[in-house]
Structure 1
Amino acid sequence: MMTYPELTDWLNNNQGLLTLSIFLATIFLGWVSGIFSALRRKPKFTLKIIDGPTFTCTFPLGKSKGQFDVHRTCIALYLSVSNVGSSPSSIERVSVGYHWNVKPFSLVWLKHSVGWFWLKYQAAALEDFQAEIGDSIKVYPFLFQRSNLGFNKTDTYLNVGQSANGVVYFEQPDSWGGCFPRAKNKQVKVKIRLLDTFGRSHTKSFRIPVVSLEYARKYNPSFGKTLSKLSGEKLPFDHT
């Protein structure tokens, strides 16, 4: 073990090496801290349901699949998305999941009633969602598609602290049996999954109301018509 005088002599004789070592250590620590700082910087999106067209509706299509009536489930969500993270990012996609209304203790029940059945891709709404407020009409913005009135779509690139509001709309293809949302007290539990451009997933569960097709079309006269329009099929209760 060095004595104090020996340590002093060694430091005096190796000042250059010591200075270089301190310099290299400073660079290394700065590089490492920069990497960790960059790793800590990531977007974090929070999801909220806001007042407006948020509901689910299941209605018959007037045809059968074996012994079952064929039906369609449509879901509208009026979302507010905020970036409360430490890095900007874009909203890439929004999906919605729900539990099927099937009998318990079967493989289907285990997969889609305990697990989630996902509508991964949105449908293009044929008309804007809107509501009468006194003598005025409020048109709700879409989160992804452009308004039919010519409004630009919502900017889905969110800097830190920014938020965006908009409607996302889903139509489920022809289904039958218990392949529709399980409701309790006229409410359905849904899980909303948002994917950002970095591939990160942000999810939150909500309860949304179950409504009739008549009620849904007060917000959008073309609610439930997109898939039928694309396939050239006419719904039995629509005359236009």
Structure 2
Amino acid sequence: MEDIFKLEYVDKTFGWLNDNQGILSLALFLITAAYGWFSGIFSTLRRRPKLAVNLICGPTFSCTFVTGRTHDRFEAHTTCIALYLKVSNVGSAASSIDNISVGYHWHLRPISWAWIKYRIGWFWLEEQAISLSDFQVSIGDSVKVYPFLTQQNSISPVRVDTFLDVGRSVSGVVYFEQRESWGGCFPSPARGRVAIKIKIRDVFGRDHVSKHRISAVGLEEARKYNPTFGTTREELRKNERPTVSDPSDHNAG
């Protein structure tokens, strides 16, 4: 008796399937299309660039030096940062470097709003400065010239291609020159090194951030790599019309 019921159930099932082939075909089509659509979206979302940053030996350091001027009885100074970077795309989609910025902690001691914002948080140099000469070093009778990452070297017309396919890397020097400042608005040193944060923005607007520690050196040491180190803003100042004050200068009294 049980076998008879099973046979009747199978017959009814096959009969229903036979009578509703159109509905079944449409349902299978919709399920297949939905699966393909969602899997395509998820696959696209998973494909994204990921830029990894390494620091290379060479012109990688921070330098703060006095300018010889004062502001409200505070000795004025300038901070410049040079970074010899290797940027690698370890993600799953190609991209290009759109902008590079560097952040550091101010050297502040009294607790204040600025202390919370820039001593605990990060003060950012968002734009690179144009170096007036190449970074280089003498090796015996030869001179090694370091390539720039985002600007052109003066002795070579070749510019580094910052388009990064998956698995590709590129290297070069980036240079930052802060406006003249005073007080504690300079990187806080610890055992001759300073903490920095590098932020690379790709053309899709994604930020790739990494933390590092670099050497803090004097101006004489910095100019062994570049004789015009720290002079870009001074040269620009000479070509500007004199003004009473520059409200965009940073300070931390």
Alignment partner of 1:179 out of 182, 185, 192: 185
User: What are the Cα deviations for residues 99-132 of structure 1, in whole angstroms up to 9, with x where unaligned?
Assistant: 0111142111111100100000000000000111
Quote the residue 1:85 is aligned against. Answer: 91
Name the TM-score, length of structure 1 as normaliser: 0.94
* C-alpha distance in structure 1 between counterparts of 2:175 and 2:159, whole Å: 14
Q: CA deviation at 1:20?
A: 2.5
Task: Give yes or no for the alignment of 1:119 onto 2:125.
Answer: yes
The aligned residue for residue 30 of structure 1 is 36
Whichever residue aligns with residue 84 of structure 1, its letter is: V
Correspondence for 2:140 among 124, 134, 137: 134
For 1:121, the aligned partner's letter is E
* Secondary structure class of the residue paired with 2:144: strand
Which amino acid is the alignment partner of residue 225 of structure 2? Y
Alignment of 1:196-207 (within 5 A): 196-207=202-213
Question: Residue 168 of structure 2: which of 141, 162, 179 is its match?
Answer: 162
In structure 2, stretches of 5+ residues that fail to align are 1-7, 240-253
TM-score (norm 2): 0.89
The worse-fitting range, judged by mean Cα deviation, of 75-84 and 131-140 is: 131-140
**1:15 — aligned with what?**
21
Task: Choose 1 or 2 for highest CA Rg.
Answer: 2
Cα deviations across residues 19-38 of structure 1 (Å, max 9, x unaligned)?
Answer: 22212211121011101111
| 1:96 is aligned to 2:102 | yes
Answer yes or no: is 1:48 the counterpart of 2:73: no
User: Which residue identity does 1:176 align to in structure 2?
Assistant: W
Letter in 2 for 1:42: R
Q: Supply the AA of the counterpart residue of 1:190.
A: I
RMSD over equivalenced CA pairs, Å: 1.2
Residues in 2 aligned to 1:52 and 1:103: alpha-carbon distance in whole angstroms: 32
- Counterpart for residue 147 of structure 1: 153
Pairing 1:108–2:114 present: yes
1:135, 1:27 → 2: CA distance?
68
Q: Which amino acid aligns with 1:12?
A: N
Equivalent-residue separation in structure 2 for 1:151 and 1:186 (angstroms): 37
Give the counterpart letter for 1:130 in structure 2: Q
Deviates further, 50-59 or 99-108 = 99-108
Provide the rounded CA distance (Å) in 1 between the counterparts of 2:71 and 2:161.
42
Cα distance, 1:81 vs structure 2: 0.3
Greater alpha carbon shift after TM alignment, 140-149 vs 14-23: 14-23
Q: What amino acid is aligned across from residue 215 of structure 2 in structure 1?
A: P
Name the stretch that deviates more: 213-222 or 100-109: 100-109
Which letter does structure 2 place at the counterpart of 1:217?
R
For the residues of structure 2 that align with 1:21 and 1:91, how far apart are their CA atoms? 46
Q: Does 1:226 align with 2:232?
A: yes
% identical equivalent positions: 54
- Report the count of equivalent residues: 232
Give 1:17 shift.
2.3
Structure 1 unaligned spans of 5+: 234-240
